[in-house]
Structure 1
């Protein structure tokens, strides 16, 4: 009798835990989750911010005669000592910049469908500002790529990098040729112009708030401040975009 009393609850427990035997669906959110979750959408764009190549102090002086590192594992010291390889390239900007542009392109292709706010006008302002940030970041990353990877061919042509303005997937052609240096500069200028059309010179600036209020006819100062106010200081602004253009 004791055996039956033990088997019955055990069978019920096993029946209710079928995912012990059938693996459950992975708890990974897909990209389309951003449409109804503005914070998730912001996370896609924020991935671009996290890859800024000058976001931390690199101490690359140890690759020159100006300084010496006591850390034998320091990647700059190893490069200066003859261990500069594909696996040890502290000067690399290709990987991070290309990854950032991929996330930015994913964001730009979808941000118009994101529910940014219940207030329709505020939602449109958020969409415009986030897109402008994305264009500004893409211009910045293309600038860094051009700075690090542009060069002359054997026949004297000045080439830049491949211009990517759509997100790549597994079916994309990953062998597209480099664009010319001039084409890359023009792509940077186009993105910068689209960013400057919306971004304030400085977040929270009174004159800029008035300009934006006039841009969005019918918007109250409270609505404008909610999207372009001091809370967003630290994000890329018109001032930063102009600096890169200079």
Structure 2
């Protein structure tokens, strides 16, 4: 946490396209008084928090710290932590500085927002619209950053008390103000829920242009603003900013984490309820995007048009679209001019069932042939992972020993496991130095498949495979829809054979592993489930059509590492109780 939050950083030149604009100050020396006068600078408090949001295109890929992936980069931080270097002083999972800095910006906005003239030209009524929207956004964002902190730093102290992080809802300027003890996990949870409720009070379900005053939200209709002003503040232009819909998705994520065995601070019934409330907004199972599992492909990304209100049905919350090739530069196989950084493990490959739905471990029913290990598999395997003799970017990739630079350990940028990552990559990016081509990418914060899986997990724990609570669908029905979309042969005999909660739990956990691979979930899922975190990361070597599986990298974790540490310097500086074992 910083000693001071430098407010002068707010003098950024980011402008809100729908915000009133007027002449700048007489000189370039800004004080906080400028924030009260100029809404552009005031909104900088909010925009700084948006900028700090984590996303799956951060090129970190913490899957490397699990049994799902390794990296061929010896300096990779997640590789280092997984092989014994993780400590309170070296913690690639640290969310402390970024999250608390964002929270400080948001706290300052919440303190000052009522004093700011948000629309100096358009008048008080429009200013009130902006004020309410910005406060709703701030509450929702603060809840999300608190979730990040709780996930990354919540844990038990040496006395067995489950602690969260310090709950800070005021703007703090001096280091002495930060010396606040850790609140309990439950207190943090209460604060997150309260902030999300406030966000929902102020924000629309979605930002959408209206054509008639009768369509205004009731709390804003009483202000007497005209339709054009309403659309300027709460219309299409603001899509992908915080909304009540997004707040519901965050609540579902938080409740699932809190209900899990590692914490046990929320009921599974409530976790299912919150996920169900979010899914109702898309029509339940009928709202599962048929292309949701392939959300990263160009055919899905390029059709997005935020101004026209078009987006994938899969995406609940995302960032902006930009053209780049860095993701592909890092992860394409070397024969495609890439660095092959993220290497899926044999462990993950083995988790994909056969196309008939049976796990490959069921020799009698699956039809799995270890001499032809990639034949007849769940189509998601080919969609997410490049294996030997896969076709990718108009080229056949050979990882077998005779296969050139794409083979295992052939050169420094070759795979270590016999596999390359395919998911998230655009095959129409060209890295050939003479034909360089960028393509559209966007950051993802929450997609609906995550929420469908959250509901399935919570519903199964609460009511078993076929219980529905107050909802119209069960865990089994959700998993059936996801597996059907994936291409599992129908009817799904394996799913039909499951009768108990325990077996359904195993299937749901595995479906979550497959559907969300390489998106930063596996590390935290294993820990909240209290499942093994020390499985070795395995790979395969192929020579003369013979497949030899062996450990590529051992995982060096102790049981106390189910919970990540408080940063050493913060614990020391602020006299914070450390999680046990660190």
Q: Which category describes the TM-score, using the shorter chain as reference length?
A: 0.7 to 0.9
- Bigger CA drift: 226-235 or 208-217? 208-217
Matches within 5 A, 1:71-150: 71-86=73-88, 88-117=90-119, 118=121, 119-150=123-154
Q: Is the 8 A contact 2:213 2:221 kept in 1?
A: no
Q: Secondary structure at the match of 2:71?
A: coil
d(CA) in 1 for partners of 2:172, 2:111:
11
d(CA) in 1 for partners of 2:213, 2:138:
20
Instruction: Summarize deviations over 1:127-182 as a string: whole Å, max 9, x none.
Output: 11001100111111111111221112233322211110001112643221111122
Q: Which residue of 217, 221, 227 corresponds with 2:233? A: 227
Matches within 5 A, 1:18-33: 29-33=30-34
More contact order relative to length (CA 8 Å, sep ≥ 6): 2
Q: For residue 46 of structure 1, what is the aligned residue in structure 2? A: 47
Q: Is the 8 A contact 2:204 2:244 kept in 1?
A: yes
What are the ranges of 5 or more consecutive residues in structure 1 without an aligned counterpart? Answer: 1-25
What are the ranges of 5 or more consecutive residues in structure 2 without an aligned counterpart? Answer: 1-26, 253-582
Q: CA 1:55/1:238 → structure 2, altered by over 3 Å: closer, same or farther? A: farther
Identify, as 1 or 2, the structure richer in strand. Answer: 2
d(CA) in 1 for partners of 2:114, 2:237:
23
Q: Which residue of 167, 174, 178 corresponds with 1:170? A: 174
**How many residues are aligned here?**
221
Q: Is the 8 A contact 1:161 1:184 kept in 2?
A: yes
Q: CA 1:208/1:151 → structure 2, altered by over 3 Å: closer, same or farther? A: farther
- Bigger CA drift: 45-54 or 62-71? 62-71
Q: For residue 192 of structure 1, what is the aligned residue in structure 2? A: 196
Q: Is the 8 A contact 2:213 2:226 kept in 1?
A: no
Deviation of the 1:216 alpha carbon: 3.1
Q: Secondary structure at the match of 1:68?
A: strand
Deviation of the 1:209 alpha carbon: 8.0
Identify, as 1 or 2, the structure richer in helix. Answer: 1
TM-score w.r.t. the length of structure 2 is 0.36
Q: Is the 8 A contact 1:212 1:224 kept in 2?
A: no
TM-score w.r.t. the length of structure 1 is 0.81
- Bigger CA drift: 218-227 or 72-81? 72-81
Q: CA 1:33/1:81 → structure 2, altered by over 3 Å: closer, same or farther? A: same
d(CA) in 2 for partners of 1:62, 1:223:
48
